[in-house]
Amino acid sequence: MAAHVALSVGGLLLIKTQSGLLRLAWQRSEALWPVGGWVAFGAALYVAGFLVWMVVLSRNELTVVYPIAVGATLAISSLAAVLVLGESLNLLRLTGIACIMVGVVLVVRS
């Protein structure tokens, strides 16, 4: 499960950070391959995360792993967005994430 979350979040971060630079390179008629390579690598990480997800699904109950995957991906991607992208989390967003994590704990313990 950790590999799925790490690959998915890593892929999303690369796509998010590099796609704007790719658009700028396109508008300026600059070489696309340096930035485009990072976008492609991010997409490959995301696809690899999906493949790992298929393995996780095949070995576990959907009612357990899906809430864990969604909760962990939400929490880690939000934290990464704050640290890497400089995005902000207000009290309402933090409360929502906390509620989701409490729900994940309840599902796992049942």
| pLDDT above 80: residue 26 | no
d(CA 10, CA 4): 10
What pLDDT is recorded for position 50?
A: 96
pLDDT at residue 20, as a whole number? 83
In this model, does residue 100 exceed pLDDT 90?
Answer: no
Query: Domain boundaries in the chain?
Result: 2-109
Question: Which one, of 87, 101, 74, lies nearest residue 16 by Cα?
Answer: 87
> Which tens digits make up the pLDDT trace of 37-94?
888 999 999 999 999 999 999 999 998 899 889 889 988 999 999 999 999 999 999 9
